[in-house]
Amino acid sequence: MEKPTIITYMKPSCGWSNGVRAVMRKYDLPFEDRDIINNPEQRQEMIQKTGQMLQPCVEIDGHMLADVSGEEVEAYMLANNIVVETERETDAPTNQPCENEMHESQINFR
């Protein structure tokens, strides 16, 4: 199976971004990880391509998925035969918000 061309627009450290990265690792997919926090040009490019400011955004063979979780990216790739189902697990949660966006009920206080 030919590997797709994948460009991601994500934060360096974020639950949703890490979920997308985990899906890419699960399927051994190469991708260009564009940093929208430390590179204003890449953030502007994402906004121009998607018409919105939320991330992660994932472009797969020219098709843009805006403001998606790793679960949504995986579902899209499976539904469009970009990848085939595997028993391998992801090495990080695929649908978890950024730490600063978690609700108090989701944070474990000790």
Tell whether 29 is covered by a domain.
yes
As given in the structure block, the two tokens for residue 9 are 């627009």
pLDDT < 50 positions in the chain: 102-105, 107-110
Tell whether 69 is covered by a domain.
yes
Count CB-CB contacts under 10 A for residue 81: 8
pLDDT value, residue 7 = 98
Got the DSSP string for 47-70? HHHHSS--S-EEEETTEEE-S--H
**Where residue 93 sits, what CATH number does that domain have?**
3.40.30.10
Tell whether 54 is covered by a domain.
yes
The closest of 10, 109, 5 to 53, measured between CA atoms, is 10
Is the CB of residue 11 less than 8 Å from the CB of residue 89?
no
Residues 6+ apart with CB under 8 A from 35: 10, 11, 12, 42
**Structural domain boundaries, residue 89:** 6-106
Tell whether 1 is covered by a domain.
no
**Amino acid (1-letter code) at residue 104:** E
Distances (CA, A) of 24 to 46, 101, 109: 19, 23, 31
Tell whether 33 is covered by a domain.
yes
> What backbone torsions phi and psi does residue 23 show, to the nearest 5 degrees?
-65, -40
pTM: 0.87
Tally the domains of the chain: 1
pLDDT value, residue 104 = 46
- pLDDT single digits (tens) 64-90: 999 999 999 999 999 999 999 999 999
